[in-house]
Structure 1
């Protein structure tokens, strides 16, 4: 059985008001076996010095389970991540940011890396609060809504094509504002290689 290292799974960075406020890593083991004892959720608190706004972050992971009933109909459900993941397993991450303060937080930016050993599931990201989603294919140095790559064809011509899912390295969520005592939530999926 192949084990997958998810070190860096919960690493995220975010900025409030245009400045980086915190870089944190949610606790995680480097080996997946026995993960039930390790992965529940993680949290971090960011504070914007200018406005004293606080955002508490929580990252949770679930595994997609496909079941088949007696009539052969398949159903899908999400269960808390536990045990060993195998190649082909689909994981859903939920990143929740709660504004614990009594002030509006503006320009919240969350950068979430795609863990090593995982492939981003294209078009699986959703974010609340009118958030904008962009992606990186260069290790987080640049972001765009629809990353592209240049491909050299057999005849020598170079074409620009949509980047393949395996090229995605980071997801960036930009939320214009999070009202006092409000929550912003984002989900995305990956598949184990």
Structure 2
């Protein structure tokens, strides 16, 4: 599934022309399977797949392309974890000049991993609030902030999810 999505976010220090966005986003999904090739286990990616089953692993990738004539700074790109899926891990290696943050509240707030949350438990008959580390499978959105994106360049960012 490939589609072009215009980004309608305000970028710091950049005035957007009416309806024109300096950033084009292309979202792709691929089914990831482990296959044997020459007696070795290797990863096979299938874009444009039509069926998935619980447990299948998918790559969600977004390519951010600067379609303007100037360098963009502090470009934020958000991608929710699709409904019916669980976040597994980043896809690929970390892109240079990109800060990655995660959300557990539907994309309202973001922070770098590992995320922490407060929970109330009962100990010796008393309610006690503790801070615990959030497991990655609880992440429901990812935000990447690209420090600089020169004119005409692009960055591909992504993560892996598993079908529930």
TM-score category, normalised to shorter length = 0.7 to 0.9
Q: Normalising by structure 2, what TM-score?
A: 0.80
Task: Label 1:158 to 1:123 Cα distance change in 2 as closer, same or farther (>3 A).
Answer: farther
* Structure-1 separation of matches of 2:72 and 2:44: 34
SS in 1 for 2:89: coil
Structure 2 residues not aligned, in runs of 5+:
none
- Equivalenced residue count is 153
Aligned to 1:83: 50
Q: Does 1:186 align with 2:153?
A: no
Tell me how far 1:131 sits from its aligned partner.
0.8
The aligned residue for residue 42 of structure 1 is 3
- Greater relative contact order structure (CA < 8 Å, 6+ sep): 2
Instruction: Tell me which protein shows more strand as a share of its residues.
Output: 2
Q: How far off its partner does 1:161 sit? A: 2.0
Q: Is the CA contact 1:129–1:184 (under 8 Å) kept in the aligned structure 2? A: no
- Asked if 1:105 corresponds to 2:79, the answer is no
TM-score normalized by structure 1?
A: 0.69
User: Structure 1 residues 126, 138: closer, same or farther in 2, change over 3 A?
Assistant: farther
Question: Using a 3 Å threshold, how does the CA distance of structure 1 residues 183 and 58 change in structure 2: closer, same or farther?
Answer: same
Within 2, Cα distance between the matches of 1:127 and 1:112?
16
Superposed counterparts of 1:38-187, under 5 Å: 39=1, 41-46=2-7, 50=15, 54-68=22-36, 71=39, 73-124=40-91, 126-146=93-113, 147-152=115-120, 155=123, 157-187=128-158
Deviation, structure 1 residue 126: 4.8
